[in-house]
Chains A and B, each alone.
Chain A
Amino acid sequence: DTGVSQNPRHKITKRGQNVTFRCDPISEHNRLYWYRQTLGQGPEFLTYFQNEAQLEKSRLLSDRFSAERPKGSFSTLEIQRTEQGDSAMYLCASSTRNKPFEQYFGPGTRLTVT
């Protein structure tokens, strides 16, 4: 399978716990994006990497959120001290430098904070 993969697919956690999600982009894609989607809404941009450099962050990405892409391949998104409002689908996407606007999405990680 050469598409974008995300793990885990589902995560249930208690409020106040930390969680970490992983994204493996399409191998030749140097750009990687994180989005969040809540019920009835479209995906909302969180952050973007070009190779290992985090170049853009949305104001939606509070201090409790941190993303890394240490070797320019896979990425992790960590949420510290989770809140119920963090419950959402977290989507990862990747694209090439030549067509950065054609972003290919993974299946997402559904987070439920109880």
Chain B
Amino acid sequence: DQQVKQNSPSLSVQEGRISILNCDYTNSMFDYFLWYKKYPAEGPTFLISISSIKDKNEDGRFTVFLNKSAKHLSLHIVPSQPGDSAVYFCAARPGANNLFFGTGTRLTVIP
């Protein structure tokens, strides 16, 4: 069963606008949430994380929001740049050492 879900397989955004990537989860035991970015022929690259005790974490152009009551996570990228075009994976940790990943959303930023 998929405990972390990314229901949008793809997203296209104009350069300079906001990109919003969404993620839903089912396991209330998850204590950390992360976003990874993946370029073709490379492994996932860690982007940003958030603890379950927080509702927002910001790092430059990237902000992650956590809504625990809705079991929903989102990543905002502002402003979007063509170099942000990649596949973005949401991941969550169930208080243990492994990560559960979503299926990814392919972001295309159009110049």
Which A residues form the contact surface with B (CB < 8 A)?
4, 6, 31, 33, 40-45, 48, 50, 55-56, 58, 91, 93, 100-108
Output the nearest chain A residue to B48 by Cβ-Cβ distance: A102
**Interface size counted on chain B using CB atoms at 8 A:** 23
CB-CB under 8 A for A101 and B4, given A33-B97, A43-B44, A48-B97: no
**Known interface pairs A58-B98, A105-B43; 5 further A-B residue pairs with C-beta atoms within 8 A, sorted by A's residue number:** A42-B4, A43-B101, A56-B98, A102-B49, A103-B99
Residues of chain A within 8 A of B36, CB atoms compared: 105
Q: Out of B42, B49, B89, B104, which one reaches A101, CB within 8 Å?
A: B49
Q: Are A102 and B46 in contact (CB under 8 A)?
A: yes
Say yes or no: A101-B93 contact (C-beta < 8 A), given A33-B98, A91-B43, A108-B43. Answer: yes
A residues in contact with B41, CB < 8 Å: 107
Give chain B nearest CB distance to A93 CB in angstroms. 8
A53 → chain B, closest Cβ, in Å? 12
